[in-house]
Amino acid sequence: MPARLYLSLVFHNHQPVGNFENVFAEGFEKAYLPLVALLERHPTVRVALHFTGPLRDWLIDKQPDFLKRVRALVTRGQVEILGGGYYEPVLVMLSDEDKIGQMSMMSGSVAADFGAQPTGMWLAERVWEPSLARPIAQAGLKYAIVDDTHFNFAGYKDDDLFGYYVTEEQGFPLSLFASSKDLRYLFPWKPVEEAMRWLRSKADQLGGDPVAPPPLALMGDDGEKFGMWPGTWDHCWKSGYMDRFFEAVAQNADWLETITPGAYLSRFPARGRAYLPTASYLEMTEWALPAERMHEITALRRDVEREIDIKQWSDAGRADYLRTLLRNLRGGFWRGFLAKYPEVNQMQKRAAYTSRRLHALPEKNGIRREGLRRVWAAQCNCAYWHGVFGGSYLFHIRAANYANILEAEALLLDDKLRVEQVDFDLDSRQEVVVTGSPFSLVVAPAAGGALVEWDDLPSRCNLLNIMSRRREGYHFALEAAARRLDVITPEMPQWGAPDNVHTTWVRAKRLGLERELVIDWHRRAGFIDHFLGDDATLDAFRRAGYNEAGDFVLGAYQTTISAAPERATVTLQREGHVWAAGVHQPVRVEKRFTLAAGERALQVEYTVTNLSGDPLTLRFGVETAYGLEGGDTESCYLSLPNGEVTGLGGAAASESVSHYRVGTQIRRFEVVVESGQSGALWRFPLAPVSMSEGGFEQVYQGTVFLHLFTFTLAPGAAWRNTFRVKVSDLALG
């Protein structure tokens, strides 16, 4: 007798490019290996597995026997392996050439590793846009897994989604399976018996239709959820939860049968045709919103969920109404992160810029192929968004992306300098892009004339790889919990309890983080021009709560370019105002960036001119924020001319500084800054309060340096200074 309900479990296993070796190893020991051993113990339970390219590369290098064990499960028909983009990119941010290239690379790897060509794909973060059907189909894949949220937004009810639908784009068909949020939240968070009751109820409710295809309940979720998330190792494996669940599935084979998505697709027809809107899973649609809106919609959703819990037993009609409301409570979509985080947009546009140049090359000696592989690695999704997980705030993940971009750039560039004015970040304003070796620059004249990217090719490092401190929607929850004295910290017994990362619990690595919620009013970058009020102190500057007397930080600068293959100069000038003596006084700032071909140095010449009819006493500051891996550890250092050597993790001020060195033992280079005039040097770490699966914490992003000069100018007089910044390798040993 055929099963009344089919069950498809899909485990997505992923570690991002550049993640720490110990995290890969922990994931293997706590999640990936136990899952495969579980399948070996329960041969009648069929599942689908997905291993992303970065994790596959690590497994081949560190655990090659593991892949052989998985291949044996594939050979005996117990496991289906999914394809996808090799480096787990959010496909919508790629050109179609890169989409198809990444998916083809993954399909070839799956066939080589497991002896079976993939028919379906894991869609990274379930980020869907209707245009994706065409390139996915062109890559030879027949289906993708999205979320029930996508279908809800198109008007489908949850009970409509026990099967798959067919969509198309310009005549290219693609089948779509919906991952059940209900099942994701049941397994493994609720007792096995409760999960089985839910499955049985769906079998009884949906399994008797003689016309419709047999119902399929599909759950697709992160493999790391089963062992790596807080408390889940004990819950899933030490307590035997996973074995009990698989045993229960096997014991109910008379009405419940496990099947892989590909097998279901080959045996049964679609439930119909569907055209889905742009969407991701529900939480992602909230995270992509601006902070205040994210807080509002998250709070509203949780209020509705709480009322459903209350009403479902006492007022079924009201509960159904609230469920309908919840299904239609829609947030933003993934591209919102590119508007929310300028630094993320910068990185995405940088990868796209390099990709276009590589695709324009004829294949020669493997340069184009190797360059594209590096760019594809830089498209790994984890650094391009932020929600419950660290994402964009994880410095080492961003650093790995930039390192791969610059590996590709190194194949393209020579010592000749090339300068172009182009709307690089697609905000309607032109940037100045200088490319060459050893430095490439991106200057934003419309945004204070700041240097927003400074690539050092020898170290494969963007020296300005930082994230500014901004308001996040989850900050409201931290503040509210702190007011209630209800923040859970590591020394409390609740800290080790198993916990769904989408919980309302507020965990923090330490108390008092709500006092560190500093919001930067401008993007941190290089060579930002400040005029400080007389009362501005280091602490006020650090906390972005001081009096900015000028209008230069956010103001637009006029641009003049002088470019030759051997030397390039970008001159930026703004005639603005400074609040002095109770009125706005006209002042001109000119800064000139100069690069010489093949020279690992940047020269910046400043001229500040008093255009008023009165003498002016000015506190003029030049800000640059360096982003170095391990900047808040002993791996990095600051060396001052008085012989002091200190770290980059503290705030301090020094007087009469004309030069200093900032070094990193991780990347093995140092930055030497020389100023023609001595002045005060302020510095402080950028450490936004971020939330991850482990709770709230401060995450180091870089260190801000402010060169501060005080001088008096007569009417028409000018102050001049030249900065020379050199980068050099550190000796080994």
Known catalytic residues?
125, 222
Half-sphere exposure of 150 (CA within 13 A, CB side): 29
77 phi-psi bin (left φ>0, alpha ψ -120 to 50, beta other): left
DSSP per residue, 223-249:
GGGTTTSTTHHIIIIIS-HHHHHHHHH
Phi, psi of 666 (to 5 degrees): -75, -50
Q: Which residue has the tokens 């304003």?
A: 429
Strand partners, 705: 624, 683
Q: Are strands 143-147 and 120-122 parallel, antiparallel or unpaired?
A: parallel
Cα(424)–Cα(28) distance, integer angstroms: 40
The contacts of residue 366 (CB under 8 Å, 6+ apart) are none
Cα(624)–Cα(628) distance, integer angstroms: 13
- Give the rounded distance of the alpha carbon of 550 from its chain centre: 34
- SS3 state of residue 108: helix
Instruction: Give the residue from 709, 532, 679, 714 showing the smallest Cα distance to 609.
Output: 714
Burial status of residue 656 (CB atoms within 10 A of its CB: 0-12, 13-18, 19 or more): exposed
Cα(690)–Cα(500) distance, integer angstroms: 18
390 phi-psi bin (left φ>0, alpha ψ -120 to 50, beta other): alpha
Is-contact 665 636, C-beta < 8 A? yes
Beginning with the edge strand found earlier in the chain, give each strand of the sheet holding 143-147 in spatial order. Answer: 120-122, 143-147, 172-179, 164-169, 272-273
221 phi-psi bin (left φ>0, alpha ψ -120 to 50, beta other): beta
Which amino acid is located at 519 in the chain? I
- Give the rounded distance of the alpha carbon of 250 from its chain centre: 39
For the four alpha carbons of 309, 315, 319 and 325, in that order, the dihedral sign comes to negative
Cα(530)–Cα(450) distance, integer angstroms: 11
Cα(573)–Cα(557) distance, integer angstroms: 5
Give yes or no for a cis peptide into 188 (omega within 30° of 0).
yes
Half-sphere exposure of 324 (CA within 13 A, CB side): 7
Long-range contacts of the stretch 60-69 (C-beta < 8 A, 24+): 62/24, 62/25, 62/28, 63/28, 66/28, 66/32, 66/33, 66/36, 67/113, 67/114, 69/36, 69/40
